[in-house]
Every structure is written in structure tokens, then in C-alpha cells.
Chains A and B, each alone.
Chain A
Amino acid sequence: MTADAGEPPTGTADASTALDLTAAPEAATADVPGELLAQSLGQYVRAWWLRVRSGNSGVLPVILAIVLVAVVFEIVTPEHAFLRPSNLVYVFGQSTVYMMLAMAETVVLLLGEIDLSVGAVALFGGVVAFKLVQQPGPGWPWWAAMLAALIGCGLVGALQGTLTARLKIPSFVVTLGGFLLFSGILIIVLGGADGNVSVRSSVPNQRVIYDLVQGLIVPTAGWIALAVVVAAAGTAIWLRASTRRRHGLVAPPVSVTVIRIALVAVVGVAVVVICTINRGSSLVTVEGVPWVIPIVLVVLGAWTVLLQRTRFGRYVYAIGGNPEAARRAGVRLVAIRTWSFALCSATAGLGGILLGSFFFGQYSTNTADAGQLVLYSVAASVIGGVSLFGGRGKAIHGVLGGLLIGGIAYGVSLLSLGTLATPLQYILPGGVLLAAVLVDVLSRRGSVTRA
């Protein structure tokens, strides 16, 4: 085999000459993912299982953990309330912030660095966007305010990235300083320790920002949007697989492609069904998919394309896997690292805007603890399956990890724990973070490639 992870022609695409390339244990543990070589569903599943066993388990653990958390909280919460549609939609709204921050953190973790400033930068971005749409005040249009906030956050990230990449100051120190710096600047922008800023749904320009998390898509439009999204995603997956097959490239079996499309459709239908059930009271109807779900999907799509399909993404993985090797291969470490920190901070800024919207358009110094947000986002990415040691992970891991963290946080708040409730809000994420890192460390030890 001369296959590399790119696009190696195999020349054996017709089934008659197919060899079970996954049978050799080397194939599963070599750099080529075994699934790429599989030519039937059985082989594919076997190759996938081998990969899971060797420590590279992808999204499987986090999905199992989400199911486990959902079941456990449904059993232990009073009146078995956890899986009610209203709670599920609320959990999702809360989780979107963690998802954004976790996706932001993921790109930096992929480089083998860490960004401890995401929480403070997110709050900073949110407050800047909220401040810019104030009337009386700057009174910017919502899109200009959000753009300015994201660019501002991106510049912060670029600065931190420059310090890390050029001066080679350890990233945790730079971003620790950035965390402290922006925690202070945040309060200054807010106008003092008791300052606050809000956007109201009654002002049309501010309503867009208010609606990012609070706004709902009417059920009919939700179904239509779902149909469009599933059709588009399905066509894209199908076309890509068939193009590869036609060109004689390594492609997953047709059955795997079909299963993937079906999964996307099932998950989409489930989400829309849950969101379409009336979750208000008998007097007020509250139904429909929150705007934030398509927003998260768009960001997830953008990050996935950037990391999996562009040269930039390949360089990020290369640097995370082995910086020296990447450098010798001609990758410009400084540029890639600086850009990654900038994109990380911009994504965090979007998370901060969503956070303000989630809290009904209110921003004060008590809205969120920047330190806790960082821990949640690092924990979410690592729980999701992103390695702390660089080079392993995807944007989707951040989303799933964020959902898990959000679910745990909300589930705990549903329990009537009395005085234990507050301490558990700290202890649980700490414990979950340590457990996730422990799994990461142990799985790396079990795998063939050494850290």
C-alpha cells in the first residue's frame, strides 16, 4: 500500500478484485484510517471498531455520555422533568454558548496550545456588540455591531497568537494574562462593577440580537428548513462519495453513505419534532425551532470545512501532530498559529453575543464568570474528543461536548440539592474535566503514535 491520508488512487475499485485491506492489523493502526480502505459495510464496521479499540474513538464516547446523562437525569430529577421539550430546548440554548466556546477552543487545542482567555474574550465581545447597538448611544445597525465585536475579538486573538507564536511565550501564560486583562477591560467597558447593558426586543435593530437565542422559527418554516438542510447535506455527501467512486478514489461503501444521510435526517426530524411541541402554557403558545440551532449549524459547518477541507486545516493538524515536521515541510508556523488564535477569539466573541441573548438580552458583571466559562469550554472540547496534546479532534466534538456540559449543568440545577447545589456547580465540571483528560491521556498511551 502506498496510500496516504489524502486522495490515493487504489486502482482496485471494482468489487471483483477487492482485497480485505482492513484485515491486516497494520492497516487499522497505520496512518490510513481503516474505514477509508473498507469496501463493504461489514469491513467498514470492523475497521471502525478496530480504530475505537486502538484509542481513536471519535464521537462515540461523548454520544454515549450524552445518552447516559439524559437517562440518569430523567430518572433522578423530580417529576422526571429533564426530557420535557421545554427543558430540552432550554438546555440547548444554554449549551450553544459552551458549544461556540468549545469550537473556539478546539482549533487552539488542535495546535497543541491552549487559550485560557476564551471566557473573558467572549464576554468582552458580547458587551462590545451590545454597547454598539445602544440608542441613545452609538446606535449601530446590528450587523455592523456584531461584525465590529467579532473583528475586535479577532484582533485580541491575533495579538495573543503573535505573542505565543513569535515570542514563544507559553500560550497558557499569554492567555492567562489575556484572561486577567479582559476581565478588567470588560468591567471598564460595562462602566464599573455595577454596570450593565441590555438589548430589548421592542427595538427593531436590537431585536435581531435579542432573538439570536430567544427567537423562534415558526413550525412550518422549521419543517421546510429541515427538508432543505437534509436534502442539501444528503446531496453533498452523496455527490462527494460518488465523485470519488467514479474517479477510482478510496470511498466509503454506498451503504455507509446512505446510513449517514439517514442519520442526519433522523436527528434533524427529532430536533424539529421536539422543538415544535408546544412548550408554553395553555394560554401562551411557545413552539418552533430556536434561531440558534441553524446558527450553530452554520458555524459548525464553517469550522468543519475550514479544518477538514482546506490547506489551512491540514496545516493546523500537521502542526498539532508534530510542529518540527510541519516546519520542515514548509508550513509557516507563525502565520498558522496567529490565525488560529484570531479565529478562536472571533468564535468566542460570537459565543459571548449568544450568551447575552440567552440571558434575555441582559449583560452585567454577574452574567457569567469568565473563569468558569473557560473551564467549561476546555472541558467540553476534551470531553467531546479533542486531544489536549494537539492534532486530534474536530469541530463537531466541541458541539457534542458543549451539549454534554450544558446538560450536566442544567440537570444539576433541576435537582433539589439545597446547600450542595452551588458547590456541585464547581465540583462537577472539575471532575468531568479531569475524567475527560484522564481518558485522553490513557487513550493516547494505548494508541500506536506516541504523544
Chain B
Amino acid sequence: MPDIPVTADPGETPTGTADTSTVVDLTAAAEVATADVPPELLAQSLGQYLRAWWLRVRGGDSGVLPVVLAIVVVAVSFQVANSKFLSSQNLVNLFEQSTVYMVLAMAEIFALLLAEIDLSVGLVMALGSVVVAELVQPTGADWPWWAAIIVALLACAAFGAIQGWLVAKLKMPSFIVTLGGLLILEGVAIIVLGGALVSIGNSHYTNEVVLYDIFYGRFDPVVSWILLAVLVGAAGAGLWLRDTRKRRNGLETAPRSLTAMKIVLMAVAGIAVVAICNVNRAHFGTIEGVPYIILIVLVVLAAWTVLLQRTRFGRYVYAIGGNAEAARRAGVSLPAVRIWGFVLASLTSGIAGVLFASWQVSLTTNIIKTANSYVLLAVAAAVIGGTSLFGGRGKTIHGVLGGLVIGGIYNGLYLLGVSSQWIDVVVAAVLLAAATIDVLSRRGAPRQA
């Protein structure tokens, strides 16, 4: 490696050259772009930043770019085919449908980042949904809704812990453990359902109403705007303050213009979503406002992003996914991190299960078939979103964006009157395409898998 005048690591290395007078274009050297340090970290002006970003994209680490392009392609092509696709009514519908895929994809990402796979996420979701629905039945357990949710999530997490233990401690291949887990859960879900239909649609019971409203409830338009202002304000302030603090302490920081751009982008996306959701989308009467479920997805996204990007646990997850042996030699406890990874995957699937129960309202054994196809959608969403199948590369946001693509494809094909088996064919093709892109982009990248 030729000498590069910095020894920056991705952590927080002071460079001592924070004043602009001594700025060197550190991104100019091609080596920097391909080295372990993301060149954006070294960029000190917007131009340099963009150039560094482009180098990184060319190097195979394209981040969210392909999935954003995919969303645009999906939106444009379906809008051309059917002008209803981008109507506010359909878009809100699409957001709502996509949320379950998004949360499941976020669950799958924990396994994928560790270079494992979890094929049981769909059935864990089914387990979570039947447990939560059974526990609030007034004729049965009659638990308060919050207790039902907590127990359902704990049950899912416990199942994840068992699977994680088998993978991490006994070194069984994760796809077999979770395939077996999937089968066992099919049986368990049937037992919990007891062969009967379970519904949470009774508006006379508060507990059922709360669960129902998770998916179908929405904020008043005015509240939606206030909420947006608060969220964007808080996130913007957080971003800005973090950058300012880093700059003050002489750490590597993205240029100020970039921070401003990020905040503006966030605000624009937020305003667009709220504006779309606040249009009255009912044929008769009034249905308007942002669905609760969008906020729920954002909370899950924020929590897992912080966990993966800002904590020691997250760093260990990436370390194991990148090179398990290196991580082990660096003192990372592989079994503990792996078990927790599977616990978090199953816990997140449980969250998806609560959303799913609320979405479906009535649950029968048919959910098993649905849950089985959701596994593939979750993997596809994560990979389409930009998470690598080979571990160590990906973020929680990729799951959300990939889930939106999958939801868009489903929704668009359904609008066009395409039968469900053709939709399966299209989703399979998209999964294979995403996996191929993942493999090819890794091949282009300097570091070998």
C-alpha cells in the first residue's frame, strides 16, 4: 500500500488538519477509495464527497442507490400501465401492505449481516400473530393488549434463542436449523390456533380495538403534520449537532452542505408522505391521515439502526459477518453475538406478527401458507434493498426500501389483475436478479468474499 497521509480508521481518529487551509484532496488517490476507510469520511467539500461516493458505487458498494432506482422504475412502469398506481389512495394502501415485508426484511437482515440465514422469519411472524390474537380473546385468556404483545414477542424471541443456540453452539448450518424450526412452528401455530378461526375484529372489546388500530388506525391530519415537524426537527437537530460536535473535536466529518442536504431530503420525503396520507382516500365519507403503522416502522427502523450502527454489539455483528475468524481472534464472543442476532431476528419477526394479526383481523390455518411465502419475500426484500447474502454488508434501511419494492411489485401486479402465481414468478425473478447483482457487485469490489 503506498503511503497515504492519513491513518484514519472508521472510528473516530483525529487528523489534526481540520482547518481548511491545509486541506488535501484525500479522495483523489484511487487507493483511498478502495481501502477500508469510506472515502466520504475523508471528503471535505461537497464535490469531493460526490466524487468519492461515485467511486464507491463503481467499486461495488452501491448502498441504497440500486434500490432507490428500482423504486423509481417500479413506480414509473406501473403508473404507465395503470394510472391508479400513484393515486394517494393506492399509495397509502401500498405503504400499509409493505410494512409487514419491511419489518420482516429488517428481521432477516440480522441473520444476513452475520452471514447466516433465517428461513423461519415467516413462521415466527405467524406464531407471534396467533399468540397475540389468542391472548386477547375475551372468551379465552382475556389479557390486556400490551401483555399479549409482550408475551408474543417474548415467545418469538425465545424461539430465536433456541435456533441461535443450535447455530452458534452446535455449529449446525443456519438454513437447516431454521428450516426445521419453520416446520415445527407450522405445527405449533396449528396447535395454538386450535383449528378454529381467531378474530380481533370485535369493536366492543378495547383490547381487540387497540390491536385492530395498530394497522388500521391513523393520526388526525393536523396531528400528522405536527408529528412530522417534531420528527424532522428532532432528527435534523440530532444530525446537525453530531456533525458540529465532531467538527469541534477535530474528527472526520462530512461537509456541512451535505448534512444540510440530508436534512432537507428527510423533510421533503416526510412532507410527501404526510401530504399523500392526508388526502381523503375514501369513496364515501372521510379517511385521511398518516397510518400509525408508518410511525411504528420508523421506530423499529430507528431502534435497529442505532443498535447496528452506534453500539458495540452492532460493530461485532459486522465484524463477524465480514470475517468471523478475524472477529474471534479480536476477542469477539461469536456464540453470544450470533445467538443475540437470531433472538433479534425472531423478535423483529414477532413485531411483524403483531402487525400481521392486526392487518388480517381474522387468522386461520391459511396464514401458514402466507407465512411460508413471506420468508422468500423477506430475503428478497433484504437483498434487493442492498444487504449482502454473504454477511457484513447492509443496513436496516435496506430492508425498509426493499420491502417497499416488493410491496410495490405485489400491489402493482395485483392492480393489473395478474394472478397470484404469476406474481410469485415475478418475485422469484426479482430475488434471483438481486442475488446476481449482489454476487457480481461483490466480485467487482476489491475485497474478496
Please give the residue numbers on chain A whose beta carbons come within 8 Å of chain B beta carbons, in ascending order: 114, 163, 167-170, 172-174, 176-181, 183-188, 192-193, 371-372, 375, 378, 388-389, 419-420, 422-427, 429-431, 433-434, 437-438, 441-442, 445
Contacts and interface: CB of A to CB of B under 8 A. Distances in A.
A371 B374 CA distance: 13
A440 to B, nearest CB: 9
Given A423-B190, A433-B176, A441-B171, A183 B183 contact: no
Interface stretch (B101-109, B301-309, B422-430): B422-430
Ordered nearest first, which 6 A-B pairs have the shortest CB separation? A430-B183, A427-B187, A423-B187, A184-B424, A426-B187, A181-B428
B431 A177 contact: yes
Given A177-B428, A180-B427, A423-B190, A371 B173 contact: no
10 contacts: A169-B439, A170-B390, A183-B421, A186-B421, A389-B173, A419-B195, A422-B190, A427-B184, A430-B179, A437-B177
B171 A434 contact: no
B435 A423 contact: no
B428 A425 contact: no
B117 interface: yes
A441 B431 contact: no
Nearest to A181: B428
Contacts of A426: 183-184, 186-187, 190
Contacts of B317: none
B173 A388 contact: yes
B190 A163 contact: no
Given A169-B435, A184-B422, A433 B173 contact: no
Nearest to B191: A423
Chain A CB count within 10 A is highest, among B181, B195, B421, B443, for B421
B176 A388 contact: yes
B194 interface: yes
A163 B436 contact: yes
Chain B CB count within 10 A is highest, among A177, A181, A438, A442, for A177
Interface in B184-203: 184, 186-188, 190-191, 194-195
A371 B379 contact: no
B263 interface: no
Interface string B418-449: 01111111011101100110111001000000
Given A423-B191, A437-B180, A180 B172 contact: no
B372 interface: yes
Given A437-B172, A441-B170, A184 B190 contact: no
Contacts of A172: 117, 175
Contact of B172 (A179, A188, A429, A438): A438
A178 B428 contact: yes
A407 to B, nearest CB: 18
Given A167-B440, A170-B389, A180 B424 contact: yes
Contacts of B173: 388-389, 437
Given A180-B428, A423-B188, A424-B187, A173 B421 contact: no
A389 B390 CA distance: 18
A425 B187 CA distance: 7
